[in-house]
Amino acid sequence: MQKLNLSQSLSQKLSPQQIQFIKLLQVPTAELDTRIEEELEINPALEEGKDEEPEQTQEDDFEDSFDEDAGRDDHELNLDDYLDDEYSGYKMQGDGNYNPDEDDREIPISSQASLHEQLITQLNFLKLDERQKIIGQQLIGSIENDGYIRRDLEAIINDLAFSQNIETDIDEMEEILRKIQNFDPAGIAARTLQECLIIQLERKEHPDDPAVMNALLILQDCFEEFTKKHYSKIQKRLDLDEEQIKDSINLITRLNPKPGGTSDGLVRTQYIIPDFILTNVGGKLEVSLNSRNAPELRISRSYSEMFDAYDKSDKKDKKLKDTVTFVKQKLDSAKWFIDAIKQRQNTLLRTMEAILDYQKEFFIDGDETNLRPMILKDIAERIGMDISTVSRVANSKAIQTEFGVYPLKYFFSEGIATDSGEDVSNREVKSVLQTMVDGEDKKRPLSDDKLVKMLNKLGYNIARRTVAKYREQLQIPVARLRKELL
Q: What is the pLDDT, as a whole number, of residue 1?
A: 31
Name the CA radius of gyration of the chain, rounded. Answer: 28
Burial state string for 170-184 with b = 16 or more CB within 10 A and e = fewer than 16: eeebeebbebbbebe
SS3 280: strand
* Amino acid (1-letter code) at residue 160: L
Strands (E), 36-142: 46-48, 109-111
Question: Angle at which helices 210-221 and 242-253 pack, to 10 degrees?
Answer: 80
Q: What is the pLDDT, as a whole number, of residue 14?
A: 57
Residues 6+ apart with CB under 8 A from 351: 379, 383, 385, 389, 390, 393, 394, 408
User: Rounded to whole angstroms, how far apart are CA atoms 143 and 122?
Assistant: 15
Q: Is 398 exposed, middle or buried (0-12, 13-18, 19+ CB in 10 A)?
A: buried
Q: What is the pLDDT, as a whole number, of residue 313?
A: 66
Q: What is the pLDDT, as a whole number, of residue 61?
A: 43
Q: What is the pLDDT, as a whole number, of residue 38?
A: 87
SS3 194: helix
Question: Which phi and psi angles does 176 have, rounded to 5°?
Answer: -75, -35
Reported pTM: 0.50
* Amino acid (1-letter code) at residue 228: K
What is the DSSP code string of 283-318? Answer: TEEEEEE-GGGS--EEE-HHHHHHHHHHHTS-TTSH
Q: What is the pLDDT, as a whole number, of residue 68?
A: 40
* Amino acid (1-letter code) at residue 368: E
Residues 6+ apart with CB under 8 A from 270: 30, 110, 111, 112, 113, 114
Question: Angle at which helices 16-26 and 387-396 pack, to 10 degrees?
Answer: 50
DSSP state of 5: P
* Amino acid (1-letter code) at residue 190: A
User: Rounded to whole angstroms, how far apart are CA atoms 328 and 315?
Assistant: 14
Q: What is the pLDDT, as a whole number, of residue 352?
A: 94
DSSP state of 76: S
pLDDT per residue, tens digit, the chain (486 aa), is: 333 332 333 334 556 666 777 778 888 777 788 888 888 888 888 888 776 554 444 444 434 443 444 333 433 333 233 223 332 222 223 333 434 344 344 444 444 446 888 898 899 888 889 999 999 999 999 998 889 999 899 989 998 888 788 999 999 999 999 999 999 889 999 999 999 999 999 988 787 889 999 999 999 999 998 888 888 899 999 999 989 999 999 899 889 998 887 444 344 444 567 889 999 888 889 999 887 777 788 888 887 887 777 666 665 667 777 777 888 888 888 888 888 888 888 989 999 999 999 999 899 988 877 888 888 889 999 999 888 888 888 887 889 998 888 889 888 877 776 676 666 777 788 888 999 998 888 888 999 999 989 988 888 888 888 888 888 888 888 887 777 644
Omega of the bond prior to 185 within 30 degrees of 0, cis?
Answer: yes
Q: Are 376 and 414 in contact (CB under 8 A)?
A: no
User: Rounded to whole angstroms, how far apart are CA atoms 254 and 486?
Assistant: 14
**Pairing mode, if any, of strands 276-281 and 398-401?**
parallel
Q: Are 359 and 395 in contact (CB under 8 A)?
A: no
